[in-house]
Structure 1
Amino acid sequence: MSTKTAPAPSDTASDDEKAKGGGKKKILLIVLVLALLGGAAWFFLLRPSGEAEPEAVPGEVLVLEPVQINLAESHYLRIGVALQLIEGAEELDGSKALDAVIEIFSGRSAEELTKPAGRHKLKKELSHALEESYHGEVMGVYFTEFVTQ
């Protein structure tokens, strides 16, 4: 009995298959090199220099007298604030800050003020208003008293 065996598969791929695999590798290598060159060009040429504005240095803290503010539904808020001034800021009048506090907190619900997220949102709004009112001489605001009833 004679049996024929199938020829063993060759370990080497045909020339066409080699050319296709090598072409894909070349394209991938070119794309990778271009991405690296683009990233390096951005890093050295286009990124922000970081020298545009120097960081403000904290100066004195101006503590203002607490005020009572009417809230919604016959509640009230007794709030005290302190302003973090930048170094070299001239003596500031606190009336603009107290006006902003009254404007922002008046008429709010006591519920809104007792939640940390609500207080944080209003503090951020107050900080923004104070930066504008004092033309950048106030860099932060702190609550020194915060009582609702």
Structure 2
Amino acid sequence: MPIEQRVVSGPKIAPKIGGKIGGASSAPAAEAEASEPKRSKKKLVLLVVPVVLVALGAAWFFLLRPSGAAGPEAEPKPEPGEVLAVDPVSLNLAGGHYLRLGIALQLTTEVTEAPDTSRAIDHAISVFSGRTVEDVSNPKTREKLRDQLAKELATVYEGEVMGVYLTNYVTQ
């Protein structure tokens, strides 16, 4: 009769050469122990990376940022070019009066050909028409109206016009 031999091993028994400690039941425990350092490394990376990025951003903001500029750099001022005279027009004022208005446009050096002046006349009509003779005769009001027209024309002509001169200004 053959003799049957059973070996019962516990955790304190040394494994055989090439064998695993604790048999098949210890494999998940070994994987859990191996993944523990991986998880701690991931946590460390997730904590360190944002701190480093914030530190780099702060260093750039305080040390490397262009001085005196909180936002984007301002565009350089355009250089004055040719002055384009616009034919005078008669505008109706309040109370049956009128204003004979002549303007000249200060163009920038970037302008290669003379722009169409009809847009300038249209905006001049909308700014000056319907005002009283007292309004258009007052030097301070006249200056404000001219500046308003210059701002509108700079926008309409997309930076090609940088100023407006009043060349003819007669009220009746």
Alignment-derived partner of residue 47 in structure 1: 68
Q: Which amino acid aligns with 1:64?
A: V
Query: Shift of residue 51 of structure 1?
Result: 5.5
Which of 81, 98, 101 in structure 2 is aligned with 1:79? 101
Alignment-derived partner of residue 27 in structure 1: none
Alignment-derived partner of residue 61 in structure 1: 83
Q: Which amino acid aligns with 2:161?
A: V
Report how many aligned residue pairs link the two structures. 108
Q: Distance in 1 between matches of 2:66 and 2:155?
A: 34
What's the TM-score, normalizing by structure 1? 0.67
Query: Shift of residue 55 of structure 1?
Result: 1.9
Query: Shift of residue 47 of structure 1?
Result: 1.1
SS of residue paired to 1:120: helix
Q: Give ranges in structure 2 of 5+ residues lacking alignment.
A: 1-61
Superposition CA RMSD, Å: 2.0
Q: Give ranges in structure 1 of 5+ residues lacking alignment.
A: 1-40
Larger radius of gyration: 2
Alignment-derived partner of residue 131 in structure 1: 154
Query: Shift of residue 52 of structure 1?
Result: 3.4
Matched-pair identity in %:
48
What's the TM-score, normalizing by structure 2? 0.58
Alignment-derived partner of residue 120 in structure 1: 143
